[in-house]
Chains A and B, each alone.
Chain A
Amino acid sequence: MQITKLEQMFDVLKTRPKKRLVAAWAIDAHTIIAVSQAVNMGIIDAILVGDEAVIKSVCVEHGINPSIFRIVSAASDVEGATKAVELINAGEGDFLMKGLISTDRYMKAILNKERGLMENGAVLAHVTVAEPMGYHKLLIFGDVAIIPEPDLNQKIAICNYLIKTARLLGVETPKLGILSASEQTLPKIRSSYEAALISKMAERGQIKGAIVDGPLGFDLIVDKESAQIKGVKSEVCGDADCILFPNIEAGNTFYKTITCLMGSELCAIVMGAKVPAVLTSRGDSERSKLFSIALAATLA
């Protein structure tokens, strides 16, 4: 079944065996509340790694029964992240979530060469799934948070993550638009010519499982009429499931436009490690955190 609304993820997860979340240094109310909601909905099981006394007192304060979690003690944020990653490597958890630890310390634990979660040469990237108002389905895009200026290989990796995400959300053959300022192939604009390369690679089966087209302007990617007016014939135009952004500024601005100006819901995860990792920020709504947990569970 193709998921076209974020909350449909919950229904799908309820029909599957529960995945196990491991939250790194989960000692704050934001994290604990979001995880408890997911556990109470019956879509995941959870291990909270952190100071047990603090976790329990936050639970009491917010009327949460701490026995719904497994709690693993850690004395500091760094130890919490290290232990969380160890639990994943030991097969005791299926995906990771960041608690009250800085993003760089959290990432460091994931990226640790000996004891982290990266396979050789893997690219870590951020994938967002949004439910933009006025669009007829979910939109999956990246990278808006981790890789500032992806090179060709990183772009290909991001494309593969977008495609994988779309497929796991039930889109059989996702349509992926590669963003540039225009649909013309302009050799002097990197986003434009790399889009042409990636499209050709997809045509040759070097990127599988999706219909890929680019360069395309944003209007052409999401609006069929614009494509008709400009005379661009492409299956992707007006019906894209995925968008590859050329850089973090473009992607991040789109992400924030969706949340700040459109008030639409979205969620996000980090892909490229052995397991999906949730990386919510405190600015995210409770609902968005819950969706991010559900997304990671869907992909785990």
Chain B
Amino acid sequence: MNPITKLSELAEHVRSRGSMTRVAVAAADDSHTITAIARAVREGWAHAILHGHKARIEQVCQSESIDPALFEIIDHADDVTATKAATLQVKSGAADVLMKGLVRTDVFLKAVLDKQQGLLPPGAVMSYTCALEIPRYNKLMFISDTAVLPHPDLNQKAAMIDYSVKMARRLGIQTPKVALISATEKVSPSMPSTLDYAQLCSMNKRGQIKNCLIDGPLDVFLACDPEAGEIKGVNTPIKGEADVLIFPDLESANSFYKGLMLFAGAELAGLIQGTVKPVVVMSRSESAASKYYCLALACLMAEEI
């Protein structure tokens, strides 16, 4: 397949698959969540199971002029039981994607991370990857970790690479170029992330990390601007054409994408990986388009190949 270079192409790709992904929504009692999922259901690529307060859900549907018959609605007394039930449905294989609704993030993640009834296999790393569409970049950019891991260690960075590469490959990029982002291209013990980066490069060179081409430390210019390597005299195989950007910490990744959204008109789709199935956690501040893309991305990543 040709690489997908825009989020609209991603949605088109998901629509054209002709298959239906079952989405379990935890505490689906708010209009943002219901609006987003309703569009996917109407377009025929998602089947939605809404766990929550049935009467409230129906009320929201009415005020948004959405037919509640689009959904399978399961009534629960409170958010905690609704979230647990939705999680269990994904765990048991009765649903393919878990989506967070109007429930506090800590309550939601507690259910996802529950040792017995949660979705994270023992020893697995949970991480957040975004696909960013930036008007001035000629392809999608996958970045991690913007939401879950505050200070990823070496092992967690390796998992972030793994998840991002999987996502990029699923979107048609055969051998993604992975840039490990720092403030400089030099390896320095005073910047511990650069030490992890050097090891990850070495692992990639030795075939311990496959299916991608890794280089770092690199700054954002060297990663994303083809001219920067020449100007700075740094010979990197990334050549300013990075598909994946791995950030040293949550603050830098988070600021990077929010800056791009605010000042450069970027749009994103993101989800939690490392779990047995994709988990969609959307913030209310995200645009309706972003929410729709998040769901499309999750449905694509939920496919078994």
A interface residues (Cβ-Cβ under 8 A, vs B): 152, 183-185, 187, 193, 195-197, 199-201, 204-206, 215, 231-232
Q: Do A204 and B202 form a contact, CB below 8 Å, given A187-B154, A197-B195?
A: no
B201 within 8 A of A: yes
Interface string of B171-212 (1 = CB under 8 A from A): 000000000000001110100000101110111001110000
Q: Let me know if B198 and A197 touch, CB within 8 A.
A: yes
Q: Let me know if B189 and A204 touch, CB within 8 A.
A: no
B148 within 8 A of A: no
Complex alpha-carbon distance, A187 and B199, angstroms: 8
Q: Let me know if B202 and A215 touch, CB within 8 A.
A: yes
17 A-B residue pairs with CB within 8 Å: A184-B208, A185-B199, A185-B208, A187-B155, A187-B199, A193-B195, A193-B199, A197-B195, A197-B198, A199-B202, A201-B186, A204-B187, A204-B234, A206-B187, A215-B202, A231-B207, A232-B206
What chain B residues lie within 8 Å of A232 (beta carbons)? Answer: 206
What chain B residues lie within 8 Å of A199 (beta carbons)? Answer: 198, 202
What chain B residues lie within 8 Å of A205 (beta carbons)? Answer: 233
What chain B residues lie within 8 Å of A196 (beta carbons)? Answer: 198-199, 201-203
A196-B199, A197-B195 known; 11 new pairs, CB 8 Å cut-off, are A183-B206, A184-B203, A184-B206, A185-B199, A185-B208, A187-B154, A193-B199, A200-B198, A201-B187, A206-B187, A232-B206
Complex alpha-carbon distance, A215 and B185, angstroms: 21
8 Å CB interface, B130-164 against A:
154-155
CB distance from A118 to the nearest CB of B (A): 23
CB distance from B300 to the nearest CB of A (A): 32
Complex alpha-carbon distance, A199 and B189, angstroms: 14
CB distance from B108 to the nearest CB of A (A): 32
Q: Do A206 and B186 form a contact, CB below 8 Å, given A184-B208, A185-B206?
A: yes
Complex alpha-carbon distance, A187 and B192, angstroms: 14
What residue in chain A is nearest B199 (Cβ atoms)? A196
8 Å CB interface, B67-113 against A:
none
Complex alpha-carbon distance, A185 and B196, angstroms: 11
Complex alpha-carbon distance, A246 and B255, angstroms: 40
Q: What are the 3 closest A-B residue pairs judged by CB atoms, nearest first?
A: A196-B202, A200-B198, A185-B202
Complex alpha-carbon distance, A162 and B201, angstroms: 24
Q: Let me know if A152 and B189 touch, CB within 8 A.
A: yes
CB distance from A196 to the nearest CB of B (A): 3
Q: Let me know if B201 and A200 touch, CB within 8 A.
A: yes
Complex alpha-carbon distance, A231 and B186, angstroms: 28
What residue in chain B is nearest A215 (Cβ atoms)? B202
Complex alpha-carbon distance, A233 and B82, angstroms: 54
Q: Do A201 and B154 form a contact, CB below 8 Å, given A184-B206, A184-B208?
A: no
What chain A residues lie within 8 Å of B233 (beta carbons)? Answer: 205
What residue in chain A is nearest B203 (Cβ atoms)? A185
What chain B residues lie within 8 Å of A204 (beta carbons)? Answer: 185-187, 234
Complex alpha-carbon distance, A200 and B154, angstroms: 16
Q: Let me know if B199 and A197 touch, CB within 8 A.
A: yes
What chain B residues lie within 8 Å of A201 (beta carbons)? Answer: 186-187, 198
Q: Which residue, A185, A195, A199, A215, has most C-beta atoms of chain B within 10 A?
A: A185
CB distance from A127 to the nearest CB of B (A): 24
What chain A residues lie within 8 Å of B154 (beta carbons)? Answer: 187
What residue in chain A is nearest B195 (Cβ atoms)? A197
Q: Which residue, B198, B208, B233, has most C-beta atoms of chain A within 10 A?
A: B198
Complex alpha-carbon distance, A196 and B233, angstroms: 22
CB distance from B139 to the nearest CB of A (A): 26
What residue in chain B is nearest A152 (Cβ atoms)? B189
What chain A residues lie within 8 Å of B202 (beta carbons)? Answer: 185, 195-196, 199-200, 215
CB distance from B115 to the nearest CB of A (A): 26
Q: Let me know if A197 and B206 touch, CB within 8 A.
A: no
What chain A residues lie within 8 Å of B198 (beta carbons)? Answer: 196-197, 199-201
Complex alpha-carbon distance, A231 and B206, angstroms: 9
Interface string of B238-258 (1 = CB under 8 A from A): 000000000000000000000
Complex alpha-carbon distance, A187 and B198, angstroms: 11
CB distance from B224 to the nearest CB of A (A): 18
What chain B residues lie within 8 Å of A231 (beta carbons)? Answer: 207
CB distance from A186 to the nearest CB of B (A): 9
Complex alpha-carbon distance, A213 and B79, angstroms: 55
Complex alpha-carbon distance, A276 and B203, angstroms: 37
Residue of B185, B187, B203, B208 touching A197 (CB-CB under 8 A):
B187
CB distance from B63 to the nearest CB of A (A): 54
